[in-house]
Amino acid sequence: MTNDMVDTPFRIGFLLFPNITQLDLTGPYEVLWRMPGARMFLVWKTREPVRADSGLAILPTVTFAECPQLDLLCVPGGGGVNPLLTDAETLDFVRRQAAAARYVTAVCTGALVLGAAGLLKGRRAVTHWMSMDFLKAFGATPVDERVVVDGNVITGGGVTAGIDFGLRMVAEVAGETAARAIQLSIEYDPSPPFDSGHPRSADPAVVDRANAAAETRQAERRSQVEKAASALHGPASH
């Protein structure tokens, strides 16, 4: 997009939080750090290590208070999204950054955090397939695509879609040639052994098994979404 990106840092910040799904973050991170001029930040309330849902420990590089104004804010997803939906400190940080960021983005269920911050009203968006219906509570229109672009709000689908999202962002910011070169450098040439990556193609028994395994988390998420939507919109009687 610009010839002086190498001289002018493009600040990219990923929200980090306990019980994050690390690939939601590390997938697009692996793409975006390679973009000319990119300066990367991992942001959380403290600089203490954060443990992902897989047990992997990730180290924040800046706190909310230390974080500079970002050009691109990205909120990943995971089970740890649930408490964030009613976490005033996190939602305030997201709103503050979004007010001046060039791009406000999310991967997987990170989109629900954008929704809880009031940033998806009237927008088209995508999230993990299990949580698509929750987008409506925040005034968003769910769109079943790998990456959804609505103005400067850009969302990616579940987990692995973060790599597609990252490449779309590089193309948007630095041009398609740069994005294609990064795709080649990371050998992103997926050919999965099974056609089971989405309910539209997976065996119904496999879909049922996945839903059953996530039942407790999704019930908690529904409750949190309702609380967050109520905080945004006020009581239904109003």
* pLDDT, tens digit, 9 for 90 and up, residues 176-233: 999 999 999 999 999 999 999 999 999 999 999 999 999 999 999 999 999 999 999 8
pLDDT digits (tens, 9 = 90+) for 131-166: 999 999 999 999 999 999 999 999 999 999 999 999
pLDDT, residue 234, reads 73
Structural domain spans, the chain: 10-233
Kindly report, residue by residue over 108-134, the tens digit of the pLDDT.
999 999 999 999 999 999 999 999 999
| pLDDT at res. 36 | 96
Looking at domain 10-233, which of 3.40.1160.10, 1.10.10.10, 3.40.50.880, 3.30.70.1350 is its CATH number? Answer: 3.40.50.880
Q: Tokens 């697009």, residue?
A: 28
pLDDT reported for residue 107: 98
Model confidence over 6-49: pLDDT tens digits?
A: 568 999 999 999 999 999 999 999 999 999 999 999 999 999 99
| Catalytic residue of the set 16, 108, 111, 135 | 108
Residue 4 in this model has a pLDDT that exceeds 60:
no
Confidence category of residue 235, pLDDT binned at 50, 70, 90: low
Active site residue 108: yes
Question: For residue 2, is pLDDT > 60?
Answer: no
Q: What is the mean pLDDT of the chain?
A: 95
